[in-house]
Amino acid sequence: MRLKTFFATVVVLAAAHLAVAADVEKSLEAAMGPYYAALVASARGNLDASERQLLLLASRWQVVERNAAGAPPALANDPAWTAAVRTVTATIDRARGHLKKKDVASAHAELESIRHALHDVTERHNLLTLDVHLTDFHEAIERLSGHVAGRNEIVLKANDYEDLGEDLRTAQTEWKAVEAAAATLRSDARWRAAATRVTNALRNVDRAIAAKQAEEVARASESLKNGYFDLLIALSRTS
């Protein structure tokens, strides 16, 4: 093969690989829209919306499966990537099965496990996507709100406020990572509104902890979780 022809072939093959990799990214991005929407709908107990979004997610995830082998080398050469894709498929099926039984809470738990399956394999390869940072942020605010969630009368001791302070600092750090990863979304009005709500809620939690006002901590934590859901809704409409 002449040198010129050889290089032309390499360029064509490289372009083909990049096109396939782009297909993987596009199909993943398309699937994340209904995934986020299903996550919020199921968290809020909305059976009909959960069913609609899961049906769309199942359809779009089939495209991800077809394109999975063309993922970037870091993922394509990792058996855990293929396993994660298959895990997601099985999890979607289980979630839909729960919804058929009108068990929205179990469907939501299944959906939460999806992001962890993808999170583990992408983070291991240092592919720190927005969803990875959102998952870490979600875990941080769950730990934060766990101190005051589900209580009729909230009585916190000094060490509780210390733990709250540590969890808040983690949440603040993770939120900065989310904001940095979401730089391209700042032009989206829905995202900006949700991000502002999250920032304000974090600030209010900080003030309530400093003042040792347990009820205010609870209210601000609830506002923070709602702001997080608003972020997911904004993402579901841009994906």
Residue with tokens 């900065």: 176
> In the prediction, which pLDDT does 23 show?
63
Residue with tokens 């991005």: 29
Tell me the C-alpha to C-alpha distance, in Å, between residue 61 and each of 24, 231, 232.
11, 22, 18
Four-way CATH pick for 130-238: 1.10.10, 3.90.930, 2.60.40, 1.20.120 = 1.20.120
The pTM for the full model equals 0.78
Calculate mean pLDDT across residues 15-23. 41
Domain edges within the chain:
3-124, 130-238
Q: CA 80, CA 100: separation in Å to the nearest integer?
A: 30
Tens of pLDDT along 113-168? 998 888 778 777 776 678 888 989 999 999 999 888 765 567 788 999 999 999 99
47's tokens: 């059976």
Average pLDDT over the chain, rounded to whole? 84
* Long-range pairs of 180-188 with CB within 8 A, sequence gap ≥ 24: 180/133, 181/128, 181/129, 181/130, 181/133, 182/130, 185/234, 185/235, 185/238, 188/234, 188/238
Is the pLDDT higher at 35 or at 28?
A: 35
Is the distance from CB of 232 to CB of 49 less than 8 angstroms? no
Largest CA distance in the chain: 80
> In the prediction, which pLDDT does 218 show?
92
CATH number for the domain running over 3-124: 1.20.120.660
Q: CA 135, CA 112: separation in Å to the nearest integer?
A: 9
What amino acid occupies position 215? E
Is the distance from CB of 94 to CB of 101 less than 8 angstroms? no
3-124 and 130-238 share one CATH topology?
yes
Count of alpha carbons within 13 angstroms of residue 173, beta-carbon side:
9
